[in-house]
Amino acid sequence: MNVIKLIVLLASLTGLLLVVGYFIAKGRGVLIAMIIALVMNFGGYWYSDSIVLRMYDARPVTRTEAPVLYDVVGALASKAKIPTPKIYIISKESPNAFATGRNEDHAAVALTTGILKILNKDELEGVIAHELSHIKNKDILIGTMAATIATAVVLLSRWAMFFGAGEEGSTIGTIAVAIVAPVAATVIQMAISRSREYDADAGSARVSGKPEALASALAKLSQAATIRPMDANPSTAHMFIVNPLSGGTIMNLFSTHPPLEKRIERLMKMKTEKEVKYEYR
């Protein structure tokens, strides 16, 4: 996704937030919505990493505890030309991983204990390279901004149901906005996250040089996550390499991840065409 499209999508989310604010309290509501957006984005920028890591009880690991993992992350970070991020482990059997942080110098990669058990070394490299690509592409900051604005939209939409304007004819409009706005925010967030996943998959293939390894890892992770879904907060689902939520939930109708089959198809096409030479600019 190019920068212009990304700006348009983030602007759409912000505009949606302001619309909800207007239906709650006209001009004053717009001002309140702007203040909420600023506060949430400020907090998201500076504290998103610590918040989400604490949310999943992630603990930092040292090189002494996990020397092989440290070597893999360090070597791939060097290839991607970014500082080596901090490494965290989440004590969950559901296999998954995500990256967080506000920039390359303040980033972390978190992996569940389950993912370390089911992937071989090549597959693990593919997953880690995927997360490093998110860091390199500034996806973690973009995702945080989208998530915080979308969360504000949902919260204000709920308030609209109780504090909507009382003028004649306005109640129906307020209720309509309260119902439609959260769905619209989810759709916009999906558009941002899905494109970012494709880009991170491609970045992983180019850094590791093994697109087929990531394809194999994705197939394993998706199947295992379906059998043993993680008790994850839906607002953070877009951060994980595969959807951590159960395949039986309504959330999958609005999944922030692109179809697994298409991700694997793209990776295998890269292998076939030998498109693995890559330099970050």
* b/e code 26-56 from CB counts within 10 Å (16+ = b): eeebbebbeebbeebbeebeeebbeebbeeb
Residue 265 annotated among the catalytic residues of the structure: no
Is the separation of the CB atoms in 112 and 96 below 8 Å? Answer: yes
Which member of 131, 197, 212, 265 is catalytic?
131
- Residue whose entry in the numeric block shows the structure tokens 């995500």: 98
Cα–Cα distances in Å, from 137 out to 44, 71, 143, 204, 232? 18, 22, 11, 12, 24
Please identify every residue annotated as catalytic.
131
